Amino acid sequence: MSKSLAVEQFELGVCYYPEQWPESLWADDYRRMRELGFTVVRMGEFAWNFFEPEEGQFTFDVFDRAIDLAHEHGLKVILGTPTATPPAWLTHKHPEVLNVTLEGVQHQHGLRRHYNYSSPVYRDYCAKITEAMARHYANHPGVAGWQIDNEINCESNVFYSPADHAAFRSWLRERYGTLEELNRAWGTVFWNQSYSDWEQVHLPRPTPADSPNPHQALDEKRFISDNAISFLRVQVEIVRKLAPNQPITTNGLFGHLDSHAMTDELLDFFSYDSYPNFATLWNDADRDDPLLDRKWSNNLAKVRSISPNFCVMEQQSGPGGWVNRMAQPSPKPGQMRLWTYQSVAHGADMLLYFRWRTASFGTEIYWHGINDYHNQPNRRVAEAQTIGREWGRIGKAVAGSRYAADVAIVRDYDNEWDGELDAWHGPLTGESEYGWSKSLQLNHIPYDYLYMRGNTGLDELARYQALIYPHPAIMSEETAELLKKYVAGGGKLIFGARTGYKDTRGHCRMMPFPGPVAELCGVTVEDFTLIPGGGAAPNIRWVGGGEERGAAAVKFNDILRPMDESVETLAVYDGDYYAGKPALTRASYGGGEAYYYGAAFTREVADALVRRLGLKPATAGWAELPSEVEIAIREKGNRRFAFLLNYSGRPVSARLLRETDDLLAGERLAAGDLTIEPYGVKVLSLD
């Protein structure tokens, strides 16, 4: 069961750093926060020196005054444990707590997140500072909850200190028991890599051609995730014991971390940091009609799979950038409000902007907050005031409602981590998830992400009309059986190339592809080829023609062979030596259908499958929307709320097919044309 944020009223707030500002500013800052409708602030996550200026000497006077004053102004405080930035006195005395690169170079004090999770010394210091803070603030009426550390696995998600190598060995001993089992799992007879003593075993280290043992590399990622969760557990157990009435979360969605397991085992709910303007740096501008900041809805869908209702601990409010990297333009007028509602539409019930005021010193002097350095009114403050006013009106009604979707894209951590090294399946997933997310968004079909895990049950799958599992190269027999039950019960399941050819160790199966789901799909892979980077991919040709146009079969091609005549070939390859061979098939299985596509999914292929699967837009029967507008539906009891988000910089026209209520404007809308302003938002009641 997923853990969710539970609030009766939508909470709006901001990240605040009292240690960075003269105390004479605090009262005015808090007053203006309340005027904007803010009810919560986060603080403390980078302030270890203020709580423990010297080893073992704990002081709380600065934050006592800051928290007391916030409480007097009616602000709740989420307090961060400050372990993301260890103090210089600690790293100087104990350099073994610092992280080390793959090449063996030790990070030095500075920046943040320069420590490792494995050092017993660092864990001990983290436990002490957490215990001191939890004891002091457990009963403070102004402290509403805790954020443990900050952005786990940000900056670096690999660790190679001596303590990490030692911890990895211990983790492997527990997982495999004996060296014989380890050697078997890692296939160490290949290239004479077998180990005869545990001291010979390490995390991946530099190798010729930068190519580690792939099974060792997969276990490395599993270990890093388990180790990060173990590191957090030290702090969480202390806070749970000393402050049992204050909820616990942590923030960020980063690599090499099973955020689902972390939340299930440790947290009350998950928090995300949403920065849609990163699209200006790492975007899809080379594609036709790029998603850009709209792509963050895809990220938020992944967050929602962890906590259906969650907190956005850091919501972008201004242009971002460090002194030397990540330089971004300013959000255009309206975009801050648009991005806020983007997060809320996808399940956020608490949202804090980053940050209250732009830092005037340090690395992030160009990571702008709501207020500029000068503290004078600006358009971001005005937008925040509008949002606060709107959520004061409708926040109670919407809080606790859940995002509604009949379709899910399926993921799992093993394939995500294995695909980082494996160029034969890893690059396919990003391409296919982009193609499907774009198709579903532009066709106004809300979708979830569903992560396949060891405890995933049939009931979780059966909620969906269709599941898209693009490229599960690693697939256990247990997962295959679960998927068969889903399809037999009436579900529709879509696979892509490279499905099922590896076991959970990452070994290739000695059986025809797609391995344990060959019977379900009714096909075997007769032949296959990788499409080299920059190489021309063949098109597919739809059998029977009709309205479907040809589309490129990109990245990889599985050439399929149906097992019998009951398996329908929907499309064939239209080029290369396998022209005319099946590229897309459909097989009946029990009460449902299994589709297999032998390439990575583009938007064009996904669009065609949307039509063939009979997937309907969420607006069916009550509205018609242009492609520039995203639709999201949140439901609570018998109430349904429709969020319409215009990502374009121009006004667009939608059409309402019946009367409805505009909750933000507080007016009844007649059927007919509805104009949505540039970067505009509508929240409609569908009662």
Residue 547 burial (CB < 10 Å; 0-12/13-18/19+)? exposed
The Cα–Cα gap between 310 and 249 comes to 10
The Cα–Cα gap between 112 and 602 comes to 39
The Cα–Cα gap between 92 and 590 comes to 65
The Cα–Cα gap between 336 and 355 comes to 13
Catalytic site residue from 151, 383, 390, 460: 151
**DSSP state string for 143-177:** EEEEE-SSSTT-S-----SHHHHHHHHHHHHHHHS
Closest of 436, 495, 493, 440 to residue 470, by C-alpha = 495
The structure tokens listed for 24 are 């004479």
The Cα–Cα gap between 373 and 113 comes to 26
Catalytic site residue from 220, 314, 390, 433: 314
Q: At what angle do helices 61-72 and 26-35 cross, to 10 degrees?
A: 30
The structure tokens listed for 528 are 């296959």
Per the DSSP assignment, residues forming a β-bridge with 143 are: 77
Neighbouring C-beta atoms of residue 66, cutoff 10 Å? 25
Cα angle for residues 201, 203, 207 (degrees, 5° grid)? 95
- The three-state secondary structure class of 654 is strand
Neighbouring C-beta atoms of residue 87, cutoff 10 Å? 21
Q: Is 314 a catalytic residue?
A: yes
E-only strand ranges, 297-454: 310-316, 348-354, 402-403, 407-411, 447-451
State the amino acid at position 177 in one-letter form. Answer: G
| Catalytic positions, written as ranges | 151, 314
